[in-house]
Amino acid sequence: MKSNRTRSQLGRPRAFDADRALDRALTIFWRNGYEGASLPALTKAMGINRPSLYAAFGNKEALFRRALERYERGPAGYAPKALEKPTAREVVEALLDGIVALLTKPQNPGGCLMVQGALASGENAIEVMTGSVLPVAADCVMPVEQYDVVDGVVSLKSAVAATPYHNVHRRGSDSRQGALLLKSGTLLRAPEIAVAASAGMARVRVSSQPAVMIVSTGDELVEPGDPIADYQVRRSNAYACAATLRKRNFARVGDDHLLDDEEVLRDRLALHLTTHEVVILSGGVSMGKFDLVPKVLVQLGVQEVFHNVAQRPGRPMWFGIGPQGQSVFGLPGNPVSTLICLIRYVIPAIAEAMGTSRLPPERLALASPVTFQPPLAYFLPVAIEHDEWGRPWVNPRPPNGSGDFLSLAGSDGFVELPPGPNTYPKGFVSNVYRW
Residues that bind Mg ion (CB under 5 A): 218, 283-284, 333
- What is the rounded distance in angstroms from the CA atom of residue 167 to the CA atom of residue 154? 17
**What is the footprint of ligand AMP within residues 199-228 (CB under 6 A)?**
216, 218, 220-221
Task: Check residue 98 and report its DSSP letter.
Answer: I
91 or 281, CB closer to ligand AMP?
Answer: 281
Q: Applying CB under 6 A, what is the total number of residues that bind ligand AMP?
A: 19
Distance of closest approach, residue 347 Cβ to Mg ion, in angstroms: 23
- CA 427 to chain CA centroid, nearest Å: 35
Please check whether residue 386 is in contact with residue 392, taking contact to mean a CB–CB distance below 8 angstroms.
yes
- What is the rounded distance in angstroms from the CA atom of residue 85 to the CA atom of residue 91? 6
H/E stretch holding 348 reads helix 347-353
Please check whether residue 396 is in contact with residue 419, taking contact to mean a CB–CB distance below 8 angstroms.
no
Considering only residues 27, 155, 244, 282, which one is a binding residue for ligand AMP as defined by CB under 6 A? 282
Closest residue to ligand AMP, based on beta-carbon distance: 333
Cβ-Cβ contacts under 8 Å for 356 (sequence gap 6 or more):
185, 187, 207
The verdict on 334 binding ligand AMP (CB under 6 A) reads yes
Does the N-terminal peptide bond of residue 421 adopt cis geometry, omega within 30 degrees of 0? yes
- What is the rounded distance in angstroms from the CA atom of residue 90 to the CA atom of residue 86? 7
Strands 278-282 and 212-217: parallel
**What is the footprint of ligand AMP within residues 224-243 (CB under 6 A)?**
233, 235-238
Query: Using CB under 6 A as the criterion, what x/- string covers residues 237-276 for binding ligand AMP?
Result: xx--------------------------------------
Cβ-Cβ contacts under 8 Å for 141 (sequence gap 6 or more):
128, 134, 166, 167, 168
115 or 331, CB closer to Mg ion?
Answer: 331
Distance of closest approach, residue 243 Cβ to ligand AMP, in angstroms: 13
C-alpha distance from residue 231 to each of 228, 308, 407 (Å): 8, 28, 21
Distance of closest approach, residue 327 Cβ to ligand AMP, in angstroms: 19
| Contact window for ligand AMP (CB under 6 A) among 122-130, 297-305, 329-337, 424-432 | 329-337
Closest residue to Mg ion, based on beta-carbon distance: 283
134 or 347, CB closer to ligand AMP?
Answer: 347
The verdict on 283 binding ligand AMP (CB under 6 A) reads yes
244 or 282, CB closer to Mg ion?
Answer: 282
The verdict on 333 binding ligand AMP (CB under 6 A) reads yes
111 or 283, CB closer to ligand AMP?
Answer: 283
Strands 221-222 and 303-307: unpaired
Name the residues that contact ligand AMP, by CB under 6 A: 216, 218, 220-221, 233, 235-238, 282-284, 286, 288, 332-335, 403
